[in-house]
Amino acid sequence: MLHSLISKFDSNIETADAHCDIPCGIYDARIVTYYAVSALRQIDILLSLKDKGLSETGFAMQVARNTAKKEEMAEKCKHQTRIIWGDFMKPKNQDDMAKCHDAAHAIMLAGSAVKQDLHREDGEKLVAAANAFAEIFWASKDVKTKKVTTPYAPNIEVVEPDL
Amino acid sequence: MIKFVKVRGESMAPTFADGDYLLITKARTFRSGFVVLVDHPKFGVIVKRVLSVTYTSVCLEGDGHHSTSLHSMKDVALENLKGRVRLAITPKGLKRL
């Protein structure tokens, strides 16, 4: 209650950063694909709800819960992309720069589409864009990548560093 | 002096989460373990835990496992410490430090 009361004065309250990415220098594109896959999973769950025989109230609650989570996962995917793209990425040449820009922009568009509606294709596009971004990221670190299928639903192919 | 700040980021997790509000008070002395508000010359206003103290400076670290010590980035002068965190106001309630 006190938290929500203080939040009404948000614009007058100074912000103190507790950013991991500023002091620690740890950047890893796996977090982008993680959130992309999670968003796709939420889409799958939402699409399967109507076959579960839930009560009207139960259905509404599940839709609300999974929709909120879907949008949160898509936004986190975009957020982590912005951090890596803005703070870490230093492409070696102009071609890399263009590819990096395109991949990050594709995540922004697909992430927004996932938030706005409920189409599995949008989730698949988000994962594909995250994979493309991950490939560029690991290439910039001279780390080879491999494609693996997640050992959990939605069992989709993701790009991982071949460490 | 008392002031409120809002946490942005996760490097102090699980002590604080993004969006928590912190009550800050002035402190005359700082000890290892204190959570402090810092006006860092390079990173701006940040919140971290004091790892160690010398006569003129402190070494800071985040509580989150993603965060690492700032020691390698030079110690922070005592004059840059703006206060001690006394209370965290979270959506789940109050947390005293």
Mapped onto helix, strand or coil, the DSSP state of residue A63 is helix
pLDDT at B87: 93
Question: How many Å separate Cα B67 from the centre of its chain?
Answer: 13
Q: Domain A29-161 is in which class?
A: mainly alpha
Find the Cα–Cα–Cα–Cα dihedral B29, A15, B49, B92, rounded to 10°.
110
Q: What is the pLDDT of residues A92-133, one digit of tens each?
A: 666 777 888 999 999 999 999 999 999 999 999 999 999 999
Kindly determine whether residue B6 and residue A19, on different chains, have CB atoms separated by under 8 Å: no
Per the rule left: phi > 0, alpha: psi between -120 and 50, beta: everything else, A99 is: alpha
- Provide the pLDDT for residue A56: 93
Compute the average pLDDT of residues B9-14: 79
Give me A117's structure tokens.
């509606």
**B73-87 confidence digits (pLDDT tens):** 457 888 999 999 999
Tell me whether residues A20 and B11 touch, CB distance under 8 A. yes
* Predicted pLDDT of residue B73: 47
The label of the residue with tokens 């995540």 reads A107
The residue type found at A3 is: H
At B32-70, the pLDDT tens digits run 899 999 988 777 888 888 888 888 888 887 776 555 444
Q: Which residues of A touch B14 (CB under 8 A)?
A: none
* Mean pLDDT of successive 10-residue stretches along chain A, which has 163 residues: 82 77 68 96 96 92 96 95 83 74 96 97 98 93 93 95 88
Residues of A in contact with B46 (CB under 8 A): 16-19, 22
- From the CA of B4, how many Å to the nearest CA of chain A? 6
With beta carbons under 8 A apart, name residues in chain B contacting A13.
Answer: 4-6, 21
Task: Identify from A15, A28, A30, A76 which residue to disrupt to test chain B contact, counting B C-beta atoms within 10 A and taking the largest count.
Answer: A15
Yes or no: say if A92 and A71 are a contact pair by the CB < 8 Å rule.
no
The reported pTM is 0.59
Q: What is the pLDDT of residue B54?
A: 81
Reply yes or no on domain B2-96 having CATH 2.10.109.10: yes
How confident is the model at residue A152, as a pLDDT? 93
Domain assignments of chain B as residue spans, ordered by start: 2-96
> What SS3 class is residue A79?
helix
C-alpha to C-alpha distance for A146 and A160, rounded to whole angstroms: 5
Contact A24 B66 (CB under 8 A): yes
B6–chain A nearest CA distance, Å: 5
pLDDT score for A18: 76
Q: Do A4 and B91 touch (CB under 8 A)?
A: yes
The answer to whether residues A126 and A37 touch, using CB atoms and an 8 Å cutoff, is: no
**What pLDDT was estimated at residue A92?**
66
Task: State the ipTM, two decimals.
Answer: 0.75
What is the number of other CB atoms lying within 10 angstroms of the CB of residue B62? 28
